[in-house]
Amino acid sequence: MGMSQDNLRGFILALLSSGFIGASFIIKKKGLRRAAAVSGVRAGYGGYAYLLEPLWWLGMVTMIVGEVANFVAYAFAPAILVTPLGALSIIVSAVLAHFMLKEKLHQLGVLGCVMCISGSVIIVIHAPQESPITSVQEIWAMATQPAFLLYLGSVIVLVVLLILYFAPRCGHTNVLVFTGICSLMGSLSVMSVKALGTALKLTFEGKNQLVYLETWFFMFIVTTCVIIQMNYLNKALDTFNTAVVSPIYYVMFTSLTIIASVIMFKDWDGQNTGSIISELCGFIAVLCGTILLNSAKDSDRGSSFRGEHAPLSPTLSTRLFSGNRETLKHDEENELSPDDICLRKQEPY
């Protein structure tokens, strides 16, 4: 199946985003190590010398560039194409860490990389073509169709139930509670980000969409969803081991985002059964590769279901932009500052 110009642009932007964000973690980590060597206090133990380290700020700029590219990618390509490609940033991070930080990439990690790449290629080849959108009001019509309103209502009910009933009772013993809230809200934030990105794209093309209330409403939804998502992702990371949170969050967030996109934007309309099955197989391959990469990365730490690391500061949430980026956290967790973590799709998305 041929790839449309918009899909190609979105694909290239998603690849660039993964490259920049994956590289940003390595650059920031080298900056953290350099700052710790000078000050004698690592960021994980309350040191802030990294704020004076140019290399750390270079990593921050690199990360911001990657997140901007990810945001723009959603304006050109369907979420079913862009969101799973976020896993490629893990590969970039793992490979660069192997060569630049001397963090060994085990055979299991290599297999995970191969699976992520193979799954991504399958998804790209069979990605659906989006119908041209000429105004934000078209997206509003999609968002208010009965099928998506049913999904939206279900998400709201589940989130309220999780927050008010399950979180106080078992939120600190069951990893699915906090990650479930993050993933559900993340699927809504991606839909709103895509709507907002499309509106801005049309505005830059000369069709001003800022005059419509719908554009500002989507911006409000993005802000609200991201705040809730950041809060509960931080709680999940503060309570459970990253080796557990990362793959579960990536699987749930990406799966729900694809479901929401299929319902709202009707990504699979017009596609044959073979293409849909191929996309699902590619998605499963990416998920399995992500889990393998995290397993290889954390195997030496003797990961357990409950967190064994020191609680992270709430300022972790300030680096959340794309949901599926949490999987980029490196082995030497105590060498990273709480601000050194960013999620893509991901994100918050």
pTM, full prediction: 0.74
Each residue of 50-105: pLDDT tens digit?
Answer: 788 899 899 889 989 998 999 999 999 898 889 888 888 878 888 888 888 887 87
Q: Which two tokens stand for residue 12?
A: 């290239």
Residues of the chain with pLDDT under 50: 300, 302-349
- Could you state, in order of their start, the residue ranges of all structural domains in the chain? 1-130, 131-266
Contact status, residue 38 vs residue 32, Cβ threshold 8 Å: no
Neighbours of 201 (CB within 10 A): 17
3-state SS of the chain is CCCCHHHHHHHHHHHHHHHHHHHHHHHHHHHHHHHHHHHCCCHHHCCCHHHHCHHHHHHHHHHHHHHHHHHHHHHHCCHHHHHHHCCHHHHHHHHHHHHHCCCCCCHHHHHHHHHHHHHHHHHHHCCCCCCCCCCHHHHHHHHCCHHHHHHHHHHHHHHHHHHHHHHHHHCCCCHHHHHHHHHHHHHHHHHHHHHHHHHHHHHHCCCCCCCCHHHHHHHHHHHHHHHHHHHHHHHHHHHECHHHHHHHHHHHHHHHHHHHHHHHCCCCCCCCHHHHHHHHHHHHHHHHHHHHHHHHHHHHHCCCCECCCCCCCHHHHHHCCCECCHHHCCCCHHHCCHHHCCCCECCCC
pLDDT of residue 321: 35
pLDDT recorded at residue 140: 96
d(CA 65, CA 122): 27
Backbone angles phi, psi at 265, to 5 degrees: -95, 0
What's the CA gap between 274 and 194, in Å, rounded?
26
pLDDT for the residue 315: 33
Write down the pLDDT at residue 168. Answer: 93
- 8 Å CB contact between 74 and 197: yes
Question: What's the confidence (pLDDT) of residue 43?
Answer: 60
What distance in Å separates the CA atoms of residue 168 and residue 257, rounded to the nearest whole number? 26
pLDDT at 215: 96
The C-alpha atoms of residue 199 and residue 218 are separated, in whole angstroms, by 10
Please give the radius of gyration of the chain, using alpha carbons only, rounded to the nearest integer.
19
Q: Nearest CA to 241 among 292, 184, 312?
A: 312
